[in-house]
Amino acid sequence: MNKNSNTYQILYAAVMVLLVGSMLALIYMALKPKQNENIANDTRKQILSALHIAAPSDELVKETYEKYVIQDLLVDSEGNVVDSTDNAAFEVQMKKNVKLPDAERKLPVMKCKMDDGSVKYVLPVYGAGLWGPIWGYIAMNEDGNTIYGANFSHEGETPGLGARIAEQEFQELFREKHLFVDGEYKGVAVLKKGQKTTNGAEQVDALTGATITSLGVSDMLADCLYRYEAFLKKLGSGGGTQCTADAAPAETIESETNDNQPE
């Protein structure tokens, strides 16, 4: 065949594309298990961070996680455990889960046992920031009311502004906050200084210069955590109370101050 002919060049290009494509597919398939494990380990680190457990080396992440997370649970809106198989909660994809109708939405819970014998419950949350999705994990004390720790992350918030939700200084503001006030679910709001919740909920200060991201965190907590009301009440009562998750997210009122924040 004439190597200078159009037919030869087309066949040569097609063969090369096929070969290169096949090689890339094989490389992708070979690396995918490792990529999936890296993603899983990153999630494990975030959950451990919410429990105030320092991130271990990559080789020990899974081992450390399994040491502290003793059970996965899926609960319904009545606070009943509907699934406790291994990794049932860990494998829930919150990005898809939050878009489901309430009747189909899963409520993942990671039950954890600390070195001092205390039990914590980690609840995943997912929402929207300024430039993309934000997510996190809220660790609750065994009373079902007091926040033990929080960890937040994001896909592409503004460095130095909204991206600060991933910093420990902001996350520590949620420690020891309460979801219930006088026995009623109120949630925790993220508000600018000068604003107050209308329902008496406890609150933390928003990030300066990151109004939209801060509101995204507040909305994320409101949308995700109130669905656990019945489950959390059962924890606080020793497991004997049946409740319904019909509490509304915290409402806020604007103050007369305006920080002129860029987000």
User: Cα(99)–Cα(127) distance, rounded to whole angstroms?
Assistant: 10
CB 218 within 8 A of CB 189: yes
pTM: 0.79
Q: Count CB neighbours of 31 within 10 A.
A: 11
pLDDT of residue 1: 61
pLDDT of residue 3: 66
pLDDT of residue 156: 92
Q: Give rounded-to-5 percent helix, strand, coil for the chain.
A: 40, 25, 40
Q: Does residue 32 lie in a domain region?
A: no
Q: Does residue 221 lie in a domain region?
A: yes
CB 44 within 8 A of CB 65: yes
Tens digit of pLDDT per residue, the chain (263 long)? 666 777 777 887 888 888 888 888 777 777 667 777 888 999 999 999 999 998 788 889 999 999 999 999 999 999 999 999 999 999 999 999 999 988 888 999 999 999 999 999 999 999 999 999 999 999 999 999 999 999 999 999 999 999 999 999 999 999 999 999 999 999 999 998 888 888 889 999 999 999 999 999 999 999 999 999 999 999 987 653 333 333 344 443 333 333 434 45
Q: Quote the number of domains for the chain.
A: 1
Q: Does residue 4 lie in a domain region?
A: no
Q: Does residue 74 lie in a domain region?
A: yes
CB 138 within 8 A of CB 147: yes
CB 261 within 8 A of CB 209: yes
Q: Does residue 87 lie in a domain region?
A: yes
User: Cα(250)–Cα(224) distance, rounded to whole angstroms?
Assistant: 12
Residue 121's nearest CA partner among 254, 232, 9, 252 is: 232
User: Cα(105)–Cα(82) distance, rounded to whole angstroms?
Assistant: 12
pLDDT of residue 79: 92
Distance between the two ends of the chain, CA-based, in angstroms? 64
Q: Does residue 166 lie in a domain region?
A: yes
Q: Does residue 50 lie in a domain region?
A: no
**Domain limits for position 93:** 69-253
Q: Does residue 219 lie in a domain region?
A: yes
CB 124 within 8 A of CB 108: yes
